[in-house]
Each structure stands twice: as structure tokens, then as C-alpha cells.
């Protein structure tokens, strides 16, 4: 392999001020804030894939769309003008506009998968080793600060559990994260394993061409049915109100309503459950077994409530082209799946909509002053920084609200922190537990009682720890953080500069 160490800027002699990892919605948004808030910053974005978009580039299954409305999943600085639930292609178009309008393309280096990041306190620099495409050699780059926008899951392999006798199945087993372009579902018997947003999106989109689609779920998910439209946005457009005003007004309305719903989920979960089920009952009729198929065992909001725009999933069930089975897989057979109840499901194609493999810090090997980093031994500062890891911030968005709300908030924080370091002439910043934190309880990353998606439950032992004080937690509470993050005192003793 060729070692390219001459890259400049980005060489040790001319290090980047900031290196952004990942050109998904987080990386592109962060770059926007950097060029607008700190325009003199020298930076690059390294992206493993050959284009931008992250999640929206990787996922190509039929019907791929957002689950959140784009007024809040879009950035605060760029109005969303389409229908609130957007297709993957519409999201990519929106990101492309942000790149073009802000001249970001020249900063992005595609086909650069970062393999390792080594911090040296002697030079106060990160040395990054990236692999350029397949067989394209290694690139060594130097940067003063790492802005981690690499998401939370492995883009290269989706999560498929090992079921007994999978090899005996004569049909095809597909993961939606790797949708084969040659997959022909015409007149096929299809089983979709899973109950989340991906299954709910896929089923109405493939059902018309299939002989039949069965959604096989171990346990149900909460679904919220609604129109893919926001009345107030349409009214304001009729009145020819400026799009940036509409964006802000609609964002505020949605966030106000989401906060109220979030609170009610804790205070009166039973009432919320009934409200979520009522419109589904209206579509499926009084005899449909909602208790078995659409009433989860957990509280609403312990996992994301999946939105079903215009009730398309339920219309598919009504048409007879799709059905739901709530059961457990015993084993695969040559012709399909045998269930623990003793029933069998015949299948030509099985789609495992079974989620993701958690990827902590982009699967990059981190080394701090010669010592390999065990991320699980660190404690997080508000889910953004980590004890013992200098000059690094991670963007980890919200689950209950749109991920991107946090991209904007964290970006303001990073820009403020970089400016503060400049003003102090500091080359290094690190968070550290203060004397008053010494007896603090150290807990796992997230309270799984409060929020428990499968990939986090499977990987929580790999994640950093949290404390029992709000500043040492990743609270997942947008409504608190929108005030707390801008108010962070950068001279608090939790920040150690050098
Ligand atoms: C199908 C699907 C639908 C979703 N819908 C919603 C929704 O409606 N609302 C919502 O809030 N959230 C949703 N999410 C969660 C979603 O992933 C985030 O909201 C958001 O897109 C994440 O953006 P990101 O840029 O942080 O990460 P990603 O989209 O994961 O992008 C990270 C990028 O970093 C790159 N990268 C990773 N490691 C490295 C490395 N070592 N070197 C170089 N590059 C690297 C990856 O290639 C990738 O391009 C959805 C997720 C999925 C899978």
C-alpha cells in the first residue's frame, strides 16, 4: 500500500484546525456552522463513502423516508418547503442544496475511511490515518480538533440475528440496509421480520407487487397515524408568508406539541396508548386484534413512536395484501419460517428489518498519548465530550425529537468552545470530573428503563458512562438542553485548558 504523507494542508506542518468525521446530516450541518460562525477555520470533512448523506445514502429500500417531520429534522437555518415526511431522495436534495449554497464541497474528501486517531499531548495534535477507497492507500492527516459526526451505527453491516437453520432456507434473506438492486418481489411471498419504522415503511411500498407480505414481529411497536401535511404551514403559504418565518413557526408548533406529548407519555401512558390506538382501530375495524398486534408491552416513548403517514401501513393490511403475525421464530426451514406457536410461514424472500449494529466512534482505533482508548471507561460531559479525550466533540442527536435539533445546538457549542480556546491561547481542552463530582454515582450511558432501542441495549457496555448530575449525562431532553447548552460556562472547572 502507498503511504501518502505529503497531503497539505492537513500535514503535521500545516494541520487542520478542525477535522469533521462523516458527511451525513450531522457533518454537513456542522460544516455549515463552522463556515458561518468561524469562517477563518481551516477544516476538512472525511467521509468513508463516495458521497454525502450518511443514513440517507446508505438506505435505498423501497419507500425509504424520514420518520420525523423535516421542519425539525431539517436544520434551523434552512427552511423546509416540502411535505413534512420526506423521502430519502428529498433529504439528499436538501443536503445537496446546503452543500452548494455554502460552498462546502471543496472541504469534503470522500472515500476516506478513518482507521485510527492518535492524540499527542507533546504536539497537541490528532494524527489521523484514513484508508482511501479499496486499495487506494493510506492517508495521514493532522488536526487540532476532531468533530465526530460519524453517527451511531455501522454502515457496512446491518444487524441480523442468528436464527436456527437459516442456511436451510432456499429463498433469499435480505437486510434493508443493503437492498439488492436486482431483488424482484413480483408475485413473491415475502416475510418482513421486524416491527419498527423500517418494516412499517417497507410493507405498504412492496405489498402491491408481492403475492403477500407478512410482517412478523416478536412484539408490537407504537404507531402514530396522521396526514403527511401540516395545516398551519399550508395556510401560511397561502398567505404568502416568507418561508423562513413558516419554518420557524412550524418548528415551534411541532416542538411545543412534542414536548406536551412527551410529558403525557410519562404522566398518563395508558391514556396516550388509547389515543394512539383509536385511529388504527377506525381503519382496521373493531374485530381486528389490536391488543396482540399493535399494543406494545413498554410505555409509549420508551422507544421511538413510529409515524405512519396517511395510514399507509394500515391500508395495506386492510387490502388483504399484507398481514401481521405476532410470534417468535423457532427455526428456518427450506420453504420459510417455523414459529414457536407451531405455525409456519411460507416465504420466497425474508427481509430482516432487525436494526443496526452500534458503532462507537466510527470504529476508529483511538490512542491517547500512546495508550489505546477504552471509550467505556470515560464519562461523558452532556453526551458531547468525554473525560480523558482532548479536543474532541461527538454529535449524538435526539431519539425522541429529531436528531438534527442537536446538530445545531452542539455546533453552536463547538464554535463557542473553539473561539474560547482561541481567546485563551489554549491548544488543548479536556473535560474532567471536578472535586465535587468525586463521589458521583457512575452509571451506564443511558437509562434503559427510560429508552431502550435494541442496538443500544446490545451495545451499551461499549458506550461511555454517565454520572448522576445533569452535566455528566446525555439526557436526550431537547427542551432542557436548548437552554442548558447555550448557557454552559466554558470556564467551569469541568473544562481543563492548556
Ligand atoms: C432508515 C432510517 C431512518 C431514520 N429516520 C430518522 C428520522 O426520521 N428522524 C430522526 O431524527 N432520525 C432518524 N434516523 C436516525 C438517523 O440515523 C439520524 O437522524 C441521522 O441521519 C444521523 O445522521 P449522522 O450524520 O449523525 O449519521 P449518519 O447518517 O450515520 O452518517 C454518518 C456518516 O459518517 C461516516 N463515517 C462513519 N464512520 C466513519 C469513519 N471511520 N471514517 C469516515 N467516515 C465515517 C458514514 O459513512 C456516514 O456517511 C433514521 C435512521 C435510519 C437508519
114 lines ligand 1 (CB under 6 A): yes
pLDDT of residue 338: 98
What separation in Å is there between the alpha carbon of 25 and the centre of ligand 1?
7
Ligand 1, atom 30, residue with closest C-alpha: 151
21 lines ligand 1 (CB under 6 A): yes
Ligand 1, atom 9, residue with closest C-alpha: 68
Q: What are phi and psi of 239, to 5 degrees?
A: -85, 5
Tell me how far apart the alpha carbons of residues 74 and 248 are, in angstroms, rounded to a whole number.
11
Tens digits of residue pLDDT in 459-472: 888 999 999 999 99
Ligand 1 atom closest to Cα of residue 403:
11
CATH architecture of 160-229+262-354: 3-Layer(bba) Sandwich (3.50)
Peptide bond before residue 82 is cis, with ω within 30 degrees of 0: no
Residue 474 grid coordinates: 446525555
What separation in Å is there between the alpha carbon of 152 and the centre of ligand 1?
7
What separation in Å is there between the alpha carbon of 23 and the centre of ligand 1?
9
Ligand 1 atom closest to Cα of residue 153:
30
Ligand 1 atom closest to Cα of residue 59:
1
Mutate-to-test residue for ligand 1 from 24, 46, 116, 404, highest number of ligand atoms within 8 A of CB = 24
Residues 177, 60, 56: CA angle, nearest 5 degrees: 90
Bridge partners of residue 326, in order along the sequence = 217
Tell me how far apart the alpha carbons of residues 69 and 62 are, in angstroms, rounded to a whole number.
19
Contact by Cβ (8 Å): 351, 102: no
CATH architecture of 2-155+358-497: 3-Layer(bba) Sandwich (3.50)
Ligand 1, atom 26, residue with closest C-alpha: 151
CB atoms within 10 A of CB 282: 12
* Percentage, residues of the chain above pLDDT 70: 98
Ligand 1 atom closest to Cα of residue 398:
11
Residue 178 has pLDDT above 90, yes or no: yes
Mutate-to-test residue for ligand 1 from 20, 21, 22, 131, highest number of ligand atoms within 8 A of CB = 22
Residue 145 grid coordinates: 480538533
* Residue 363, H or E segment: none
Give whichever of 259-268, 362-371, 392-401 has the largest mean pLDDT: 362-371
What separation in Å is there between the alpha carbon of 58 and the centre of ligand 1?
9
CA atoms within 13 A on the CB side of 299: 16
Residues in the chain: 498
pLDDT of residue 399: 83
What separation in Å is there between the alpha carbon of 149 and the centre of ligand 1?
8
Tens digits of residue pLDDT in 373-416: 999 999 999 999 999 999 999 999 998 899 999 999 999 999 99
What separation in Å is there between the alpha carbon of 496 and the centre of ligand 1?
31
pLDDT of residue 328: 97
DSSP helix/strand/coil, 123: coil
Lowest mean pLDDT among 67-71, 156-160, 302-306, 428-432: 302-306
Give the pairing of strands 306-309 and 18-21.
unpaired
* Residue 266, H or E segment: helix 243-267
Residue 1 has pLDDT above 60, yes or no: no
* Residue 287, H or E segment: none
Domains 2-155+358-497 and 160-229+262-354 share a fold: yes
Give the pairing of strands 365-368 and 112-120.
parallel
pLDDT of residue 169: 98
Contacts of 483 (CB under 8 A, 6+ apart): none
Helices (H), 22-69: 25-37, 55-58
Can you tell me which residue has the cell 467551569? Answer: 492
Mean pLDDT computed over every residue of the chain = 94
476 lines ligand 1 (CB under 6 A): no
Radius of gyration, alpha carbons of the chain: 24
119 lines ligand 1 (CB under 6 A): no
Ligand 1 atom closest to Cα of residue 25:
25
Burial of 286 from C-beta contacts in 10 A (0-12 / 13-18 / 19+): exposed
pLDDT of residue 5: 47
What separation in Å is there between the alpha carbon of 153 and the centre of ligand 1?
7
Can you tell me which residue has the cell 416513548? Answer: 301
What separation in Å is there between the alpha carbon of 257 and the centre of ligand 1?
25
Domain map (residue ranges) of the chain: 2-155+358-497, 160-229+262-354
Contact by Cβ (8 Å): 401, 477: no
Ligand 1, atom 5, residue with closest C-alpha: 66
What separation in Å is there between the alpha carbon of 54 and the centre of ligand 1?
5
pLDDT of residue 2: 42
Q: What are phi and psi of 263, to 5 degrees?
A: -65, -45
Can you tell me which residue has the cell 395495506? Answer: 316
Which is higher by pLDDT, 15 or 3? 15
What separation in Å is there between the alpha carbon of 403 and the centre of ligand 1?
9
Amino acid at each position: 500500500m502507498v503511504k501518502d504523507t505529503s497531503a497539505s494542508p492537513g500535514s503535521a506542518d500545516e494541520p487542520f484546525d478542525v477535522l469533521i468525521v462523516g458527511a451525513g446530516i450531522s457533518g454537513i450541518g456542522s460544516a455549515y456552522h463552522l463556515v458561518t460562525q468561524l469562517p477563518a477555520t481551516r477544516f476538512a470533512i472525511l467521509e468513508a463513502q463516495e458521497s454525502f448523506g450518511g443514513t440517507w445514502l446508505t438506505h435505498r429500500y423501497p419507500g425509504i423516508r424520514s420518520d420525523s417531520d423535516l421542519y425539525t429534522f431539517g436544520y434551523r437555518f434552512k427552511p423546509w418547503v416540502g411535505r413534512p415526511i420526506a423521502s430519502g431522495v428529498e433529504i439528499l436534495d436538501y443536503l445537496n442544496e446546503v452543500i452548494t449554497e455554502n460552498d462546502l464541497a471543496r472541504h469534503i474528501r470522500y472515500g476516506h475511511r478513518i482507521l485510527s486517531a492518535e492524540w499527542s499531548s507533546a504536539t497537541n495534535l490528532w494524527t489521523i490515518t484514513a484508508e482511501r477507497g479499496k486499495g487506494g492507500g493510506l492517508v495521514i492527516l493532522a488536526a487540532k480538533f476532531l468533530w465526530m459526526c460519524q453517527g451511531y451505527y455501522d454502515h457496512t453491516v446491518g444487524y441480523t440475528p442468528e436464527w436456527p437453520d437459516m442456511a436451510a432456507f432456499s429463498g433469499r434473506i435480505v437486510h434493508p440496509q443493503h437492498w439488492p438492486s436486482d431483488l424482484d418481489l413480483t408475485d413473491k411471498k415475502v416475510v418482513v421480520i421486524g416491527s419498527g419504522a423500517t418494516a412499517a415503511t417497507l410493507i405498504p411500498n412492496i405489498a402491491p407487487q408481492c403475492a403477500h407480505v407478512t410482517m412478523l414481529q416478536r412484539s408490537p411497536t407504537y404507531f402514530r397515524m396522521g396526514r403527511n401535511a401540516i395545516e398551519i404551514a399550508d395556510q401560511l403559504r397561502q398567505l404568502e408568508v416568507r418561508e423562513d418565518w413558516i419554518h420557524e413557526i412550524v418548528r415551534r408548533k411541532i416542538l411545543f406539541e412534542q414536548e406536551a406529548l412527551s410529558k403525557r407519555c410519562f404522566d398518563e401512558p395508558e391514556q396516550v396508548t388509547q389515543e394512539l390506538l383509536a385511529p388504527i382501530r377506525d381503519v382496521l375495524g373493531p374485530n381486528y386484534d389490536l391488543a396482540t398486534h399493535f399494543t406494545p408491552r413498554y410505555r409509549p416513548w420508551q422507544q421511538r413512536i413510529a409515524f405512519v403517514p396517511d395510514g399507509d401501513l394500515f391500508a395495506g393490511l386492510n387490502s388483504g395484501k399484507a398481514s401481521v403475525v405476532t410470534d417468535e421464530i423457532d427455526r428456518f426451514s427450506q420453504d420459510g419460517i417455523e414459529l414457536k406457536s407451531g405455525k409456519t410461514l411460507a416465504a420466497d424472500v425474508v427481509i430482516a428489518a432487525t436494526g443496526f449494529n452500534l458503532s462507537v466512534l466510527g470504529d476508529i482505533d483511538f490512542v491517547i498519548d500512546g495508550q489505546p482508548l477504552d471509550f467505556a471507561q470515560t464519562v461523558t460531559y452532556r453526551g458531547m465530550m468525554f473525560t480523558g479525550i482532548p479536543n474532541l466533540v461527538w454529535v449524538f442527536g435526539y431519539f425522541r425529537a429529531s436528531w438534527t435539533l442537536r446538530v445545531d445546538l452542539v455546533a453552536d457549542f463547538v464554535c463557542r468552545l473553539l473561539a474560547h480556546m482561541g481567546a485563551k491561547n489554549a491548544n488543548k481542552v479536556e473535560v474532567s470530573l471536578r472535586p465535587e463530582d468525586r463521589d458521583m454515582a457512575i452509571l451506564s450511558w443511558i437509562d434503559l428503563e427510560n429508552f431502550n432501542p435494541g442496538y443500544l441495549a446490545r451495545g451499551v457496555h461499549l458506550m461511555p458512562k454517565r454520572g448522576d448530575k445533569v452535566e455528566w449525562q446525555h439526557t436526550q431532553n431537547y427542551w432542557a438542553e436548548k437552554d442548558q447548552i447555550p448557557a454552559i460556562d466554558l470556564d467551569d472547572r469541568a473544562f481543563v485548558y492548556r
